[in-house]
Amino acid sequence: MTAPNLHSPTVLLWDWDNTLVDAWAGVAAALNAAFAAFGLPQWTAAEVRARVRTSLRDSFPVVFGADWPHARDIFYAALAEQHLSHVTPMPGAQDALFAGRNWPQAVVSNKTGRFLRDEVAHLGWAPMFGAVVGAGDAEADKPDPAPIRLALAQLGHSPSRTVWYLGDTALDMQAARAAGVMAVLVGDAAHDGGVARAAPDLHIADAVALADRLRALA
């Protein structure tokens, strides 16, 4: 683990699910619709939270094999019907975003781009972000660094250690390191093997503590 950079960030890049919002019930319903069509066991919302990391285009071929495009279509149809009704901010997330208003902010997520942008707009958060990059928007998805680099390009910035990528999983930290930015873990990553497995550059207990830190840095 590298030593944390305690200087003020120049850019804040945010993961979406389980960092800024809880939308797992909607994802679980859509996944289970695809599983049901293929006669696969259903997952609970807790299992989805623990298992889902990579984007659909990376994970569905592994789960569904050659028929994955059909599973994708079922998933997208089910998600489109109900995902906005399941999106709620994580505790302290809106306060953290407001505290971060002194810096350029963007979202980089493995949620499919069009659904991600619908959720951002649904919460009224679109004005807070200079870029919203989801799965499928770059040539590859996290943990590849391409989405982070795309978001920075849209903001007019280059990767550096003063860019903070804030996420909740080891995959987020891996993507940040690959992109050459600060890997900042928000929360205890208990759903993903804990803080030690995530190996962040900087660990912040939760969004409430993050908001306090950003206000102090500002």
Above 70 in pLDDT, residue 1?
no
> Closest Cα to residue 211, out of 95, 121, 127?
95
pLDDT at 174 over 80: yes
Q: What is the pLDDT of residues 27-47, one digit of tens each?
A: 899 999 999 999 999 998 888
The whole-chain average pLDDT of the chain stands at 93
Does residue 2 contact residue 161 with C-beta atoms inside 8 Å?
no
Q: Is the dihedral of CA 85, 154, 168, 135 positive or negative?
A: positive
Kindly report, residue by residue over 61-87, the tens digit of the pLDDT.
999 999 999 999 999 999 899 889 989
DSSP secondary structure of 184-206: EEES--GGGTHHHHH--SEEES-
pLDDT band for position 218 (50/70/90)?
confident
Amino acid at site 52 = V
pLDDT at position 49: 80
The CATH class given to the 11-22+87-217 domain equals alpha beta
Give the span between the Cα atoms of 71 and 35, in whole angstroms.
8
Lowest mean pLDDT among 2-16, 150-164, 197-211: 2-16
Q: Distance between CA atoms of 198 and 178, rounded to whole angstroms?
A: 14
**Of 123, 128, 116, 112, which Cα lies nearest the Cα of 55?**
112
**Which pLDDT value is given to residue 2?**
43
